[in-house]
Structure 1
């Protein structure tokens, strides 16, 4: 019993993540074109015939750019909240609303959405579970909140945003208003924030961490890989690319995931 996962693209130029078992799969966000989605899946030996649904985290263009064409071509249901759909001015033949913390069954996969902090209308992250194995897709995070901690510490693998290095952002060419948006609590997670979450709340059985949504201008793949690898233990660290798909990873492990106790978030992570 296992899940297969891949990043098809990860960054401000487009985000798309594949999670599935041997029979069915879902895509979380489709921020690249239909053609690129098909091409990158084919290079991994994956087929769209296994994809049974698309889940949309929020309405920003790097998460929805290709979803309308892909969903129409393959007649796929698009799970998206009404607020996200309206604010993104999106129309789908098969739009399905969802409620945070209410599990959705896609064949034998169980997808659980939960609210996150981000400057969008109704932003959510997702976990995908099968036979006791759980994978999280956690990007576009303004801050580490209780919801994120609770779900992260149940995952065998996770796509986790590590968007920017604080010093690179400070020294960089971005205008002040954009720097303020990125680090202002509703934008994106820094390397330091993501590392603190990983160090404090990584479950012992987490086999893979996919560092995701790296900034092209304000981060460096080698820098962030080295930063996390120092603290990774037995967890394999992978940096998801903004230019091409990752390898296809096979996630297995302990088949019992228990709810970890709620943490006291009054204690600083940093």
Structure 2
């Protein structure tokens, strides 16, 4: 049975990802204002009433800035680790908050959401996969290095939001101070285009129908550069570059069709 996915926004100015079936959905991160999310849902023809929960990867502002307002307005439960919650500095009164733990699936209706730890400079960062029957989607951004957990889950996904944050040459030649460059590429920052491509080439399952390159840097990357790097290696996988300025279309991900 299919899942439907969209990146509502992807970048250091805000991150929010939609994954759902025909009846229910979850959001991964809420780094946009409530009004921005409502507008993008309307443009996509989606209803926020189908969203049943929000899952938070980590406490950086581009992942949580709209969380309180959205969760409170729509009475959405928030799933977040205790350490991340302690570092959020958000007001979540009157919001149902539940802890999650790595490698312990959470069932939201017919959706199964599984978190696993990742390398990033945050208190307790996690990535997620979302399963619905025979279809699996991964949300893999803000990753310093491709660990064994990431490789394991990526190799099982029918679609993935995959970070391709920076181009090595652009970062080297760019205006960022040395310490910030080292943070980005130091193993607890972000994946480069080349690291993302290596993961894709070595561990992409033959049934992966879509890869959405995500969290591209405004200063150290450009969509055309990332796209051109991946194009020769796609085989039958559709490539999408998620925008930092708006939502992607809704993509239908169907594990049953992928196996035909």
* TM-score (normalizing by structure 1): 0.94
Residues 49-75 of structure 1: per-residue CA shift (max 9 Å, x gap):
100000000000000000100000000
2:209·2:258 contact (CA, 8 Å) conserved in 1? no
**Which residue of 2 is the match for residue 4 of structure 1?**
4
How far is the alpha carbon of 1:229 from its aligned partner? 1.2
- Within a 5 Å distance, the mapping from 1:1-270 to structure 2 comes to 1-92=1-92, 93-254=95-256
How far is the alpha carbon of 1:109 from its aligned partner? 0.3
**CA distance 1:256–1:168, change in 2 (3 Å):** closer
CA distance in 2, matches of 1:82, 1:118: 17
SS for the counterpart of 2:162 is strand
CA distance in 2, matches of 1:211, 1:148: 15
Count of residues in correspondence between the two structures: 257
Point out where structure 1 has 5 or more consecutive residues left out of the alignment. Answer: 258-270
CA distance in 2, matches of 1:75, 1:215: 33
Residues 173-200 of structure 1: per-residue CA shift (max 9 Å, x gap):
1111110100011000000100000000
Relative to its length, the structure with more helix (as a share) is 2
* TM-score (normalizing by structure 2): 0.97
CA distance in 1, matches of 2:67, 2:192: 28
Point out where structure 2 has 5 or more consecutive residues left out of the alignment. Answer: none
CA distance in 2, matches of 1:229, 1:42: 31
How far is the alpha carbon of 1:116 from its aligned partner? 0.4
How far is the alpha carbon of 1:89 from its aligned partner? 1.8
